[in-house]
Amino acid sequence: YFSRNGYVSASVFRKSLTNYIISSTQTLTQAVAGELGIASGSLGAAYDQYDVTYNFNVPDRGHYNGIELGYAQNFSFLPKPFNTIGLQANATFLSVDPIKTNAVFSNNAADPNLNAAILDQINNNLQVAAVKKAINVTLSYSVGKFGFNLTSNYTGRVLKGISRKTVRYSNASPAVNSYFNEYTYQAPRELIDLRIDYKWNRKFTPYFQMRNVLGRPIITQTTNFPINRAEYGDPIYEIGVRGVW
């Protein structure tokens, strides 16, 4: 703490997650069809031409571990007109302890490789959408009835999705499914936002806001195929009035 002008903070956390639910698809067999009450005569093709999707509950535990840092400072000790400058910054750094389990989720003879594929998916699912590095900085300044805020938001590389791909080689003996997981990541991204306020009176504050000033795109990348896709986000302009009653 710095008297009434600012502060620094730090905290650590560890969050546990249990009973994770995962969805998996496997080849239909005669035994599975019998368990589901599906008569062979009701199918229009052989059993192995159909897939069955299950939801599994995973009782084993995984964890999110992280540290959060914060800093804020009002520069009121500076001479005018710089005494209204304010600075805020915070950062979060995250690590993931994946779910480890030895459970058997599939013993389907027609899909001998499926259980290993399901376990690999479970092992990586807590990584999905986990932002492992986030840094936010806001610089503010006011003069007269005008207020200015400039904000930077940075996020590191983020795993956005896991897609299991199935490959079957017809010339293999036996011809069984092989699997690999395709990982889709969002590339690191920094957004700059600018807002200008005008304190008209105690109740109404007109403002102008410009989001994504630099027009940073959302870039997604895949691991198994050299494909990058970009969604371009042009700057977004907003004009409005905030009111207090």
pTM passes above 0.75: yes
Cβ(130)–Cβ(96) under 8 Å? Answer: yes
pLDDT classification of 63: cutoffs 50, 70, 90: very high
Mean pLDDT, residues 229-237: 82
Q: Bigger pLDDT: 12 or 55?
A: 12
Cβ(64)–Cβ(98) under 8 Å? Answer: no
Q: How many CB atoms lie within 10 A of CB 58?
A: 20
Q: Bigger pLDDT: 167 or 19?
A: 19
Which of 98-112, 184-198, 225-239 shows the highest mean pLDDT?
184-198
pLDDT classification of 165: cutoffs 50, 70, 90: confident
Cβ(186)–Cβ(218) under 8 Å? Answer: yes
Mean pLDDT, residues 135-163: 95
Q: Is 84 helix (H, G, I), strand (E, B) or coil?
A: helix
Mean pLDDT, residues 6-26: 88
**Residue 225: what pLDDT?**
67
For residue 213, give the nearest of 152, 155, 156, 154 by alpha carbon.
152
**% the chain with pLDDT above 90:** 46
**Residue 174: what pLDDT?**
65
Write down the H helix ranges in 68-160: 114-125
Cβ(105)–Cβ(53) under 8 Å? Answer: no
